[in-house]
Structure 1
Amino acid sequence: MDRPPLHHKIMLYYASPHLTHAVATLPVALFVPAFYADDMALPLAGVGVAIAASRALDMVSDPLIGILSDRLKTRWGRRKPWIAIGTPLLMLSAWMVFAPAGKVSLLYLFVWASLLFFAFTLVDLPHKAWGAELSTDYTERTNVAAWREGLGALGQILFLGVLSVLDYLGYVENRDQLRVIAIIIVVSLPPLVTVALSKVPEFPSEELAGERLGGWAGLRLVLRNQAFMRTLITLLLLGTAVLIQATLHRLVLTHVVGRPDIFATMILAENLVSLAMVPVWMSIANRIGKHRAIILAAFWIGLWSVGFPWVDRGDTALYVTLILLRGASLASIFMLANSIAADVVDHDIVASGRQRTGLFFAVWGIAIKLAVALGVLLGTALPAAFGFEPSAPAQAPEAKKWLLVIYGWLPCLIIVSGLPIMWNFPIDRIRQRALREQIAARRAGVFKSDIGGAA
């Protein structure tokens, strides 16, 4: 470790905005498709297309923000200004998507969802890059990522607890629950962001002695980074699988199981299980390596998803049990992915001679958002293609059957296709330590040359 160990307080302060960031993103899959299709009477397939199309801007904004946040030099740091600028826009756009006034159109959903995703890029991408740069140690990076994802899961648990109380009081409508989510975001985000920006340090960019590659040559290095490309493909596949199910949770609970009233409580219980299992998955990662731990975590989701097509009306206990077992590794997948990402950046620092964490997290962000778009699109368009339409008075048995197959087995197939990619991952604990030693040696060369020039 070429930096002092991080105090847990610093990790807590850094992760605190993700309490609300996670709340801002969860409804896009869990609530918004069902709300705009059921309550706002928009066509289900059209809602899926609008949400998927709203991610198109990310193809430009993510790499742009990533590169600019790598190169920006201010008295407040490279990452912090973007978070400060993006927070008000995130609050406004979340309110417009989750608490629309009156009748809305697909165009309304597309415009405000686009702004919501752009604002999330402004705050989340620099936040992830900032966290990846807080530590240079293989294991401590997992701890930083665990604090971030753990607080994200806790934020979801707290707001789902509020929704469960609303369910108990009889406020089960999508509109009421989404408005509460919007209020939580607007009220909680400013103080959490203020604490993080004021309490957590941001370290200078690591510049190495020797040739430094930028422009097209630097971009080619990114594409030739095998560890990066393998992680990218894995994230895309796993994210798509998870988002297909997230998109369909409420629809399955409403139109198949017949218990929409327990939705918030069920997702709350799933998040509690997911958060409780984070230390277990951290221990597994320390024993067998992060890359193999993320494979096992993904396999765990696929294993319990196999049973979904056998769920029928009234099978509440069976369905909730499968959801809880499946959810035991959800938070850990994102925690491990962020920790692996920091290790992959070390490889690029050695190859390019400069720290480009923002660029890498930008491309990763595109993959994750593409996974969200694909998951929502497949989770809405495929059931619609087989005759399932939530606003219809009744659903044909065949349409429900295909809904459950798409919900359960399609994600399994996607997950299985991604498992071999990460098994023999090229960066483990030993390789990462060697990379940090090379970085430290070449940084010393920069430091010596600076001293010589000053003399």
Structure 2
Amino acid sequence: MDRPPLSQKLMLYYAAPHLTHAVATLPVALFVPAFYADDLGLPLAGVGLAIAASRATDMVTDPLVGILSDRFKTSWGRRKPWIALGTPLLMLSAWMVFAPAGQVSLLYLFVWASLLFLGFTLVDLPHKAWGAELSTDYTERTHVAAWREGSGALGQILFLVVLSAMDFLGYVDNREQLRVIALIIVFSLPPLVTLALVKVPEFPSEELAGERHEGWAGLRLVLHNWAFVRTLVTLLLLGTAVLIQATLHRLVLTHVVGRPEIFATMILAENLISLAMVPVWMNIANRIGKHRAICLAALWIGVSSLGFPWVDRGDTGFYATLIVLRGSSLASLFMLANSIAADVVDHDIVASGRQRTGLFFAVWGIAIKLAVALGVLLGTALPAAFGFEPSAPAQDPDAKKWLLIIYGWLPCLIIASGLPLMWNFPIDRVRQRALREQIAARRTGVFRSDADGAA
């Protein structure tokens, strides 16, 4: 380990803003499509297209923010200024998307959703890069990522507790619940961000002796980093599968099971088991490696989803059980992905001579957001193509069957296609340690070529 071990208190301070970051993005899949289609009367396919299109600007803003945060050196650090800048935009845009006043249009949803995703990029991308740079140890990186994803899961749990309480008291209107989510974001984000910015250090960028690769040469190194490309494709596939289901949870519960009032309680139970299982998945990762642990976590989601097409009206217990089983690996999936991403950056530091964590997390961010866009688009357009429309007075039974197949089996196929990419991933504990030895040697101007790199 290049640096002293991090204290749990420091990791807690770092993870604190993600309590609210996670709350800011979860409703885009879980609440917004159903709210804008069911309550505001917009066409379901149009809502999905507007949300997917709003992510197109991320193709420009994510790499730009990533590169600038890598190079923007101030006495306050490289990452912290961007987080401070993006926080007000995230608060404003979340309010406009989740608590719209009066009649809205698809254009309104597209514009404010685009600004919401921009604000999220400004705070979340530098926050991830900052966390990846806090530690240089293979296992401790998993701990940092676990604190972050655990914090996000806890944030979701807290706001779902609030929504469950509203359900219990009879406040089940989508508009009321989304307004409460917006209030949670606006009031909780500033103190949590301030705590992290003040309490957590930011280490200087690692610059190595020897040749450095800039511009197109540096970009080619990114594209030729096969560990990175494999991680990128896997994230895209797994994220798309998860978001298809997230988009359709509420619609299935409303139009198939017939119990929309238990939605918040059900998602709360899913998040509770997801958070409780994080230590278990950390232990699995320590035993068999992060890359194989993430394969098992994804496989568990797929297997747990196989029963969804057999859900029918009134099957509340059966459906809720499948949701809880599926959710037991969700937080760990993203925890392990972020930890693996930090290891992949080590390979690039050796190859390029510079620390470009922001750029790498920007490209990963694009993959994740593309997965969100594809998940929402497939989760809305495919059911609509088979005749399912939430605002219709009566639903075609065949359309409901296709809704459940798209909801349950399509994600399983997508997950299965991504597993071979990660099972024999080239960067394990031994190779990551060798990369850190190379980095340490070159920081002193002495390069040892005997350490085995990862391709």
TM range (shorter): over 0.9
Where does residue 413 of structure 1 map in the other structure? 413
Where does residue 24 of structure 2 map in the other structure? 24
Where does residue 352 of structure 1 map in the other structure? 352
Q: Which amino acid aligns with 2:257?
A: V
Where does residue 80 of structure 1 map in the other structure? 80
Q: How far did 1:308 drift?
A: 0.1
Instruction: Give the whole-Å Cα distance in 2 for the aligned partners of 1:444 and 1:19.
Output: 39
Matched residue of 1:341: which SS? helix
Is contact 1:96-1:112 (8 Å) kept?
Answer: yes
Instruction: Give the whole-Å Cα distance in 1 for the aligned partners of 2:439 and 2:136.
Output: 10
Q: Could you give the per-residue CA deviations for residues 116-166 of structure 1, whole angstroms, max 9, x where no partner exists?
A: 000000000000000000000000000000000000000000000000000
Q: Which amino acid aligns with 1:177?
A: Q
1:168-207 residue pairs with structure 2 within 5 A?
168-207=168-207
Instruction: Give the whole-Å Cα distance in 2 for the aligned partners of 1:304 and 1:88.
Output: 39
Q: Within the alignment, does 1:303 sit opposite 2:303 as a pair?
A: yes
Q: Which amino acid aligns with 1:153?
A: A
Q: TM-score, normalised by structure 1?
A: 0.98
Q: Which amino acid aligns with 1:429?
A: R
Instruction: Give the whole-Å Cα distance in 1 for the aligned partners of 2:314 and 2:401.
Output: 15
Q: Which amino acid aligns with 1:205?
A: S
Where does residue 451 of structure 1 map in the other structure? none
Instruction: Give the whole-Å Cα distance in 1 for the aligned partners of 2:16 and 2:281.
Output: 21
1:16-55 residue pairs with structure 2 within 5 A?
16-55=16-55
Instruction: Give the whole-Å Cα distance in 2 for the aligned partners of 1:181 and 1:401.
Output: 32
Matched residue of 1:384: which SS? helix
Is contact 1:289-1:428 (8 Å) kept?
Answer: yes
Q: Which amino acid aligns with 2:215?
A: G
Q: Within the alignment, does 1:101 sit opposite 2:114 as a pair?
A: no
Where does residue 233 of structure 1 map in the other structure? 233
Where does residue 435 of structure 2 map in the other structure? 435
Matched residue of 2:217: which SS? helix
Is contact 1:207-1:446 (8 Å) kept?
Answer: no
Instruction: Give the whole-Å Cα distance in 2 for the aligned partners of 1:59 and 1:17.
Output: 24
Task: Give the percent of matched residue pairs that are identical in Structure 1 and Structure 2.
Answer: 88
Q: How far did 1:3 drift?
A: 0.3
Instruction: Give the whole-Å Cα distance in 2 for the aligned partners of 1:358 and 1:126.
Output: 7
Where does residue 208 of structure 2 map in the other structure? 208
Where does residue 334 of structure 1 map in the other structure? 334
Where does residue 451 of structure 2 map in the other structure? none
1:327-406 residue pairs with structure 2 within 5 A?
327-406=327-406
Where does residue 126 of structure 1 map in the other structure? 126
Q: Give unmatched runs, 5+ long, in structure 1.
A: 448-455
Where does residue 259 of structure 1 map in the other structure? 259
Q: How far did 1:15 drift?
A: 0.3
Is contact 1:62-1:363 (8 Å) kept?
Answer: yes
Is contact 1:209-1:442 (8 Å) kept?
Answer: yes
Where does residue 450 of structure 1 map in the other structure? none
Where does residue 154 of structure 1 map in the other structure? 154
Q: How far did 1:446 drift?
A: 8.4
Matched residue of 2:393: which SS? coil
Q: Within the alignment, does 1:58 sit opposite 2:58 as a pair?
A: yes
Q: Could you give the per-residue CA deviations for residues 154-180 of structure 1, whole angstroms, max 9, x where no partner exists?
A: 000000000000000001111010000
Where does residue 274 of structure 1 map in the other structure? 274
Instruction: Give the whole-Å Cα distance in 1 for the aligned partners of 2:388 and 2:61.
Output: 35
Q: Within the alignment, does 1:142 sit opposite 2:135 as a pair?
A: no
Q: How far did 1:307 drift?
A: 0.3
Instruction: Give the whole-Å Cα distance in 2 for the aligned partners of 1:363 and 1:435.
Output: 22
Matched residue of 2:328: which SS? helix
Is contact 1:30-1:249 (8 Å) kept?
Answer: yes
Instruction: Give the whole-Å Cα distance in 2 for the aligned partners of 1:24 and 1:104.
Output: 20
Instruction: Give the whole-Å Cα distance in 2 for the aligned partners of 1:338 and 1:413.
Output: 23
Where does residue 453 of structure 1 map in the other structure? none
Q: Which amino acid aligns with 1:137?
A: D
Q: Could you give the per-residue CA deviations for residues 327-358 of structure 1, whole angstroms, max 9, x where no partner exists?
A: 00000000000000000000000000000000
Instruction: Give the whole-Å Cα distance in 1 for the aligned partners of 2:61 and 2:256.
Output: 39
Instruction: Give the whole-Å Cα distance in 1 for the aligned partners of 2:444 and 2:81.
Output: 29
Matched residue of 1:298: which SS? helix
Instruction: Give the whole-Å Cα distance in 1 for the aligned partners of 2:74 and 2:137.
Output: 26
Is contact 1:98-1:181 (8 Å) kept?
Answer: yes
Q: Which amino acid aligns with 1:435?
A: L
Aligned residues: 447
Question: CA distance change for structure 1 residues 191 and 446 in 2, over 3 Å: closer, same or farther?
Answer: farther
Q: Could you give the per-residue CA deviations for residues 78-123 of structure 1, whole angstroms, max 9, x where no partner exists?
A: 0000000000000000000000000100000000000000000000
Instruction: Give the whole-Å Cα distance in 2 for the aligned partners of 1:282 and 1:103.
Output: 47
Instruction: Give the whole-Å Cα distance in 2 for the aligned partners of 1:154 and 1:221.
Output: 37
Instruction: Give the whole-Å Cα distance in 2 for the aligned partners of 1:50 and 1:193.
Output: 30
Is contact 1:208-1:446 (8 Å) kept?
Answer: no
Is contact 1:278-1:332 (8 Å) kept?
Answer: yes
Instruction: Give the whole-Å Cα distance in 2 for the aligned partners of 1:170 and 1:398.
Output: 33
Instruction: Give the whole-Å Cα distance in 2 for the aligned partners of 1:336 and 1:10.
Output: 20
Where has structure 1 moved over 4 Å in runs of 4 or more?
none
Instruction: Give the whole-Å Cα distance in 2 for the aligned partners of 1:445 and 1:198.
Output: 33
Q: Which amino acid aligns with 1:36?
A: Y
Instruction: Give the whole-Å Cα distance in 1 for the aligned partners of 2:445 and 2:13.
Output: 33
Q: Which amino acid aligns with 1:432?
A: Q
Q: Which amino acid aligns with 1:113?
A: A
Instruction: Give the whole-Å Cα distance in 2 for the aligned partners of 1:237 and 1:105.
Output: 31
Instruction: Give the whole-Å Cα distance in 2 for the aligned partners of 1:110 and 1:260.
Output: 26
Q: Which amino acid aligns with 2:198?
A: S
Q: Within the alignment, does 1:5 sit opposite 2:35 as a pair?
A: no
Instruction: Give the whole-Å Cα distance in 1 for the aligned partners of 2:198 and 2:278.
Output: 28
Q: How far did 1:444 drift?
A: 1.1
Q: Which amino acid aligns with 2:222?
A: V
Q: How far did 1:37 drift?
A: 0.3
Matched residue of 2:208: which SS? coil
Instruction: Give the whole-Å Cα distance in 1 for the aligned partners of 2:340 and 2:174.
Output: 37
Matched residue of 1:419: which SS? helix
Where does residue 69 of structure 2 map in the other structure? 69
Q: Which amino acid aligns with 2:91?
A: M
Q: Which amino acid aligns with 1:292?
A: R
Q: How far did 1:445 drift?
A: 1.4
